[in-house]
Chain A
Amino acid sequence: QKEVEQNSGPLSVPEGAIASLNCTYSDRGSQSFFWYRQYSGKSPELIMSIYSNGDKEDGRFTAQLNKASQYVSLLIRDSQPSDSATYLCAVNRVNRDDKIIFGKGTRLHILP
């Protein structure tokens, strides 16, 4: 099982709709979870971090964490064309060096 798994996409969502991005992880001891946004040819930008079960909202973004199911998701409300990017999920791997491990990312395309 991969340490962090994401559907590579592309995920196409109409403008104004909710985009839902999912991520599963294998290390049951993981405590820290992050979502990064990466535009084509650019570096990743941290957009959300979550450490406790439940939801965390920041503007149009909501991160959801379910440690029992080893699942973390990112919801983007009122999707805009500028949200079109690759979204990387990152998790700390406690069972090794406690460093952050990144998923391969999900490409999101917002349809105008």
Chain B
Amino acid sequence: DGGITQSPKYLFRKEGQNVTLSCEQNLNHDAMYWYRQDPGQGLRLIYYSQIVNDFQKGDIAEGYSVSREKKESFPLTVTSAQKNPTAFYLCASSREAGSYEQYFGPGTRLTVT
């Protein structure tokens, strides 16, 4: 089955700890994205990557970091510098950088206390 997987589904961390969220796709899509969603809010773009070994900041990149060493994988690290890390994190991909149709993984719900 082709699709996007994110793990884990739920993640709990103590304040001050870095945490890495996994995102893997087997759709052979070039572009990948990370969003966060807060209750009652729209999706906000954190980072995106249009091709392997390249990524760009989105609207709210502060306190986050990413890597894109393989086409299939786009992990997101939430660092201790992120002031309000508790949120629902969504990974998405699109066929190519110029394609706007994005397909989402199931998401990771991060709680930091």
Contact = CB atoms under 8 A, between A and B. Distances in A.
A102 B46 CA distance: 13
Interface of A: 4, 8, 32, 34, 42-46, 49, 88, 92, 97, 99-105
Contacts of A102: 35, 42-43
Interface string B29-45: 00000010000111101
B105 A105 contact: no
A8 B39 CA distance: 12
Interface in B31-66: 35, 40-43, 45, 48, 56, 58
15 contacts: A4-B42, A42-B106, A43-B90, A43-B104, A43-B107, A44-B43, A44-B90, A49-B101, A88-B42, A97-B56, A99-B48, A100-B100, A100-B102, A101-B45, A102-B43
Given A97-B56, A100-B100, A104-B42, 7 more contacts: A8-B40, A32-B100, A34-B100, A43-B90, A44-B104, A88-B42, A102-B43
A99 B43 contact: no
Contacts of B107: 42-43
Given A34-B101, A43-B104, A46-B101, A105 B42 contact: yes
Contact of B103 (A46, A88, A92, A103): A46
A20 to B, nearest CB: 20
Interface string B66-110: 000000000000000000000000100000000011111111000
Contacts of A100: 45, 100, 102
A44 B43 CA distance: 10
Contacts of B58: 99
Given A32-B100, A92-B100, A99-B48, A43 B105 contact: yes
Candidate in B42, B90, B102, B106 with the most chain A CB atoms within 10 angstroms: B42
Contact of A88 (B43, B48, B100, B105): B43
Nearest to B56: A97
A4 B101 CA distance: 17
A32 B104 CA distance: 18
A43 to B, nearest CB: 4
